[in-house]
Amino acid sequence: MSHTLHFYPAGGVVTPEQWLALGQVAREHADGYVYLEEHSVLTLRGVDDEAAVSSVSLPRTPPRVVASPLSAQARSVAARVAEEISAALAEHEAEGNALRETVIGVDGGLGDILSQGVSTGLQLRTPEDSTVVRLIEAGQVKGEELALDDALPALITALLETIDEVDSPTSDSAAEAAASLHPAPIGWLTEHTAEGRVDLGAGLHKGALPGEYAGLIAQLDAPVTVTPWRGLVIHDLADGDADVVLRVLAPRGFIFDVNSPHLQD
C-alpha cells in the first residue's frame, strides 16, 4: 500500500541536505515528484516505504507556519514560532488536533502573508526588523507593538484562547482582492536586495518538482525557500550567477513569468 506524506517546513525553509533527501526518496520510493502545496507544504505521493522517509529531516506534523519569502527576518521568526507552538502542543494535547489545522503567518511588514487570509500570526515592523512585531488576530493586525520575546507567548495564549472557535480566514473574494496587490514572487526580484544581488522566484506547473531537480536545487549553493503559493525563491544570487541559474532551470520546467498560463491551474 502506498502513502501520501506531508512535510511542514517552518517559513518554507528547506536546506540543501533536505532537498537531496526529498529528491532521492521521490525517485526511489514515491512517484518521482516532490509536490509544492499551498502554505509551503511539501508532499510525496505514492510512497511505498515510510521507513525510507526518515532520511528527510523535515517536520511531518504541523504546525503550519508560513512567512514572507522575501524577508529573511520573517523566515527566521517563523522557525521560532514553530518551536514555540510545538512545545505548546506537547503541553496541551487536548487542543492539539485543532491547533494543528491552523495556519499561522509571519508577515514581513508589507502585507503579502496577510493577503493570503491567515487568521493568526505576527507582523514585523519592516522586512529587515524582527525586534518589534504586532499580533495578527482574526486576519487583522491588532494592538500595540511588542518585543518579539513578549509577542511569542502572547501569540500562543491567543491561539489557545481561540482554539474552540471556527477558524475564519479572510473570505475567498476578499483574499483574492488582497492577493492581487501582492502577486506571487516570480521572476527577477531586486526591490529588496542589495545592489548586484538578485532573488529568483520560480513556479512549477501544478507545483510538481521532479525528484532529480530537487537534487539540482540542492547543488545551487544558495538558500531556497518554498513559498506559500507553490513556488520557490532562490535567494541572494549575484547578477551573473542568477542569469546562469535561470538559463539552466527554465528549460527544465521552472517558470519565471508570473503571467504564465501554466501557473493558473
Domain edges within the chain:
3-60+185-263, 71-179
Quick check: 35 pLDDT over 70?
yes
pLDDT of 2 strictly over 90:
no
Calculate the alpha carbon distances from 156 to 123, 173, 262 in Å. 15, 29, 39
Instruction: Please give the model's pTM, rounded to 2 decimal places.
Output: 0.90
> What average pLDDT does the segment 237-262 reach?
96
How does pLDDT run across 166-224, given as a tens digit for each residue? Answer: 444 444 444 444 445 568 999 999 999 999 999 999 999 999 999 999 999 999 989 99
Q: What pLDDT does residue 62 have?
A: 80
Per DSSP (E only), the strands in the chain are: 3-7, 13-14, 33-36, 42-47, 64-67, 103-107, 120-126, 129-137, 140-147, 187-189, 197-203, 208-210, 224-226, 231-238
**Coil, strand, or helix at residue 231?**
strand
Phi-psi region of 215 (alpha: psi -120 to 50; beta: other; left: phi over 0): alpha
Q: What pLDDT is stored for residue 181 in this prediction?
A: 55
What confidence score (pLDDT) does residue 96 get? 64
The CATH architecture that domain 3-60+185-263 belongs to is: Alpha-Beta Complex (3.90)
Q: Which three cell numbers stand for residue 243?
A: 542569469
Specify the pLDDT at position 136: 96
pLDDT band at 165 (very low <50, low <70, confident <90, very high): low
pLDDT in tens, 134-159: 999 989 999 899 999 999 999 999 88
